């Protein structure tokens, strides 16, 4: 048996009291901050990029971030009321954009994309949103509803399975090849803002995202069903006692998250022009990162997180890494996204706008 003195030796107690984790974290933070700052300074000193390049990177970052933000809303809504990470949300996003591709091709063959761009784009948004919404609702019904109240690990594994299943389902439906969206001439080129040229697609994505975000905000804050969503998120049982139809509310949440993902899918193809069955996975993960960054469960947080992530992704590698002599820094974009995810979860698990950490050590 351990003797008393060993159990309580000063040395051992000191070691246990020493906040090893915090120490490591602070050290890590310092290293990263130093690296980032040194890289940035070196990049700016070298002056390889003009102010205009930076501005363009910034705007494309905002545009990209807007798309992340809209996808992130789906994660946040579902997490906010069910406390599960809907890992397959990226695939919901893919489903809409991929299906709408065929509509776009149909429209293009009729010349609609040229003659009636606004109506065509409207149709694309509707189709994509409806498909994604349908997939999201089916997903809830088949994969998640039977698992309410199961240990955390269970729906998470299901979600991973669902992600894989949906990817390969759509591969089976529409084939394994990447397909290029037909171009919509009306949104090509640039607009001059002041004397500064901004790509039309960037501006449209940003404005579209703002509109979608406002609609969602209105639904959640001002409508009856939004109130019910918040009530279910607060306490499912009490909400049910108060007469809220919990199942319907959850279906609605998945549906609206899906519809937003579908709409984001169209914004995404404006920016990246291509669809393939795997296209949802990484944007999905990045959107999740955005949701966590802003504070999961918070609608404003999702927007904020998306923007920050988008900007860091486009500006970050060039700013931090280029000057540090790293070749082809844009290859390392995934590291920015995942690095942020890891760091946020370590340092700020509640995100920027999430609930503050409580005092429990456990």
Partner 1 sequence: MSHLLDVKGLSIRFGGVQAVNKVDFHADPGEIVGVIGPNGAGKTTLFNIITGFYSPDEGTMIFDGHNISGLKPNALTRLGMARTFQSVRLFNAMTVLENAMVGQHTRTKAGVWGALTRSSKTKSEEDRIRERAREVLAFFGDRLSGREDALASDLAYADRRRLEIARAMATDAKLLLLDEPAAGMNPAEKDGLISQIGRLRSELGYSIILIEHDMPVIKSVSDRVVALDHGEKITEGTYDEVSTNKQVIEAYLGKAAEESHL
Partner 2 sequence: MTPELRRSVRQGLIGGAVVLYLASVGMLVAFDARAIITNVVNFATVLIVITFAAFGYLAGRPGKGGEPAQPFLLAGAVTGAVAGATVGVVAVLVDFLITGLEWDVRSMWTSVSPTLMELLSFGQSPIVGALLMTLLGFTAGLAAGSLHLATTITRKVILLGLMAFVFGALGAPLFKVMLDGMHIPNRWLFDRDGLTITGAIVLFAAFGLARLGSFRVGGPRQALLKVPGTSEKNLRWVISVLALLGIAVLPWIVNDFVSDVLGFVGLYILLGLGLNIVVGFAGLLDLGYVAFYAVGAYSVAILTARSSYLVGGSVTAPAVAGYTNFWVAVPITILIAVVIGVAIGAPVLRLRGDYLAIVTLGFGEIIRTLVLSDWLKAKFGGPQGLTEVAAVPFFGLNTRDPQILYYLIYAFAGLALFISYRLKTSRVGRAWAAMREDEDIAEGMGVSVIKYKLLAFATGAAVGSLGGAFFAAKLSVANPGSFTLLVSINVLAVVVLGGIGSIPGVVVGSLVLVGLPELLREFGEFRLHIYGAILIAIMILKPEGLIPDKRRALELHQPDHQPEKSVLSAEATEGIQ
Given partner 2, partner 1, none, residue 229, with its beta carbon under 5 to 8 Å by kind, binds none
CB of 121 to partner 2, least distance (A): 20
Among 161, 190, 214, 223, binds partner 2 (CB under 8 A): 161
Q: How far apart are CA 11 and CA 20, in angstroms?
A: 15
Minimum gap (Å) between residue 19 Cβ and partner 1: 8
Specify the residue, 147 or 210, whose C-beta has the smaller distance to partner 2: 147
> With CB under 8 A as the contact rule, which of the stretches 81-89, 128-136, 194-202, 304-312 interacts with partner 2?
81-89
CB of 155 to partner 2, least distance (A): 7
Q: Cβ(294)–Cβ(351) under 8 Å?
A: yes
Instruction: Point out which span in 49-57, 171-179, 207-215, 247-255 binds partner 2 (CB under 8 A).
Output: 171-179
Characterize 84-108 residue by residue with b for buried, 16 or more Cβ atoms within 10 angstroms of its Cβ, and e for exposed: bbbbbbbbbbbbbbbbbbebbeebb
Strand partners, 282: none
String of DSSP letters for 31-73: HHHHHHHHHHHHHHHHT-S-HHHHHHHHHHHHHHHHHHHHHHH
Q: Closest Cα partner for 76 from 88, 65, 64, 84?
A: 84
When the beta carbons of 146 and 189 are compared against partner 2, the nearer one is 146
What binding mask, one character per residue, do residues 141-160 give for partner 2 by CB under 8 A, x or -? -xx--xx-xxxxxxxxxx-x
Please pick, from the candidates 141, 271, 339, 348, the single residue that binds partner 2 as defined by CB under 8 A: 339
Residue among 18, 34, 173, 218 that touches partner 2 (CB under 8 A)? 173
The tokens 């000057």 sit on which residue?
A: 323
DSSP run (H or E) holding 292:
helix 281-294
**Binds partner 2 by CB under 8 A, chosen from 62, 70, 121, 292:** 292
Facing residues of 192 across strands?
197
Residue 169 binds partner 2, judged by CB under 8 A:
yes
Instruction: Please give the DSSP secondary-structure letter assigned to residue 355.
Output: P
Nearer to partner 1, 46 or 238 (CB): 238
Q: 198: phi > 0 → left, psi -120 to 50 → alpha, else beta; which?
A: beta
174 binds partner 2 (CB under 8 A): yes
For residues 268 and 340, what is the distance between their CA atoms, to the nearest angstrom?
A: 22
Burial 317-327 (b: 16+ CB within 10 A, else e): bbbbbbbeeee
Instruction: Please report how close the Cβ of residue 31 comes to partner 2 at its closest, in angstroms.
Output: 13
Helices (H), ranges, 83-116: 89-109, 112-115
Residue 147 contacts which entry, partner 2, partner 1, none (Cβ below 5-8 A, type-dependent)? partner 2
Task: Using the minimum distance from each CB to partner 2, give the nearer residue, 285 or 304.
Answer: 285
Q: Taking CB within 5 to 8 Å according to partner kind, which of partner 1, partner 2, none is near residue 214?
A: none
Q: Taking the CA atoms of 301, 305, 308 and 311 in sequence, report the sign of the dihedral they define.
A: negative
Among 10, 17, 21, 45, binds partner 2 (CB under 8 A): 21
Binding interface with partner 1 (CB under 8 A) = 1-2, 7-8, 13, 16-17, 19, 356, 358-362
Partner in contact with 181, chosen from partner 2, partner 1, none, beta carbon below 5 to 8 Å by kind: none
Range in contact with partner 2 (rule: CB under 8 A) among 18-26, 44-52, 199-207, 221-229: 18-26
Smallest distance, partner 2 to C-beta of residue 291, A: 11
């Amino acid at each position: 048996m351990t003797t008393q003195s060993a159990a309580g030796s000063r040395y051992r107690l000191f070691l246990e009291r020493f906040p090893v984790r915090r120490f490591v974290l602070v050290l890590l933070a310092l290293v990263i901050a130093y690296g980032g700052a040194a890289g940035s300074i070196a990049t700016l000193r070298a002056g390889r990029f003009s102010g205009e390049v930076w501005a363009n990177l910034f705007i494309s970052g905002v545009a990209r971030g807007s798309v992340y933000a809209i996808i992130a809303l789906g994660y946040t809504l579902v997490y906010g009321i069910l406390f599960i990470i809907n890992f397959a949300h990226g695939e919901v996003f893919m489903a809409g954009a991929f299906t709408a591709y065929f509509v776009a091709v149909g429209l293009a063959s009729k010349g609609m994309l040229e003659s009636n761009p606004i109506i065509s784009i409207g149709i694309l948004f509707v189709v994509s949103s409806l498909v994604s919404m349908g997939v999201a609702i089916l997903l809830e019904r088949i994969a998640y509803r039977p698992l309410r109240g199961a240990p955390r690990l269970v729906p998470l594994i299901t979600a991973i399975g669902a992600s894989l299943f949906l990817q390969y389902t759509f591969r089976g439906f529409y084939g394994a090849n990447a397909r290029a969206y037909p171009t919509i001439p009306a949104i090509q080129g640039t607009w001059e803002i002041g004397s500064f040229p901004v790509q039309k697609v960037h501006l449209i994505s940003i404005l579209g995202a703002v509109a979608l975000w406002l609609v969602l905000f209105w639904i959640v804050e001002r409508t009856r069903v939004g109130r019910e969503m918040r009530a279910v998120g607060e306490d499912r049982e009490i909400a049910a006692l108060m007469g809220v139809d919990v199942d319907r509310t959850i279906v609605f949440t998945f549906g609206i998250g899906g519809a937003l993902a579908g709409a984001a899918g169209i914004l995404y193809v404006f920016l990246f022009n291509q669809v393939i069955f795997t296209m949802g996975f990484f944007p999905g993960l990045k959107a999740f990162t955005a949701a966590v960054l802003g504070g999961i469960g918070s609608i404003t947080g999702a927007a904020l997180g998306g923007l920050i992530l988008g900007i860091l992704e486009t500006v970050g590698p060039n700013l931090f890494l280029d000057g540090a002599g790293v070749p082809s820094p844009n290859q390392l974009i995934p590291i920015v996204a995942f690095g942020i995810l890891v760091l946020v979860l370590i340092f700020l698990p509640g995100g920027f706008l999430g609930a503050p950490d409580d005092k429990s050590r456990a």
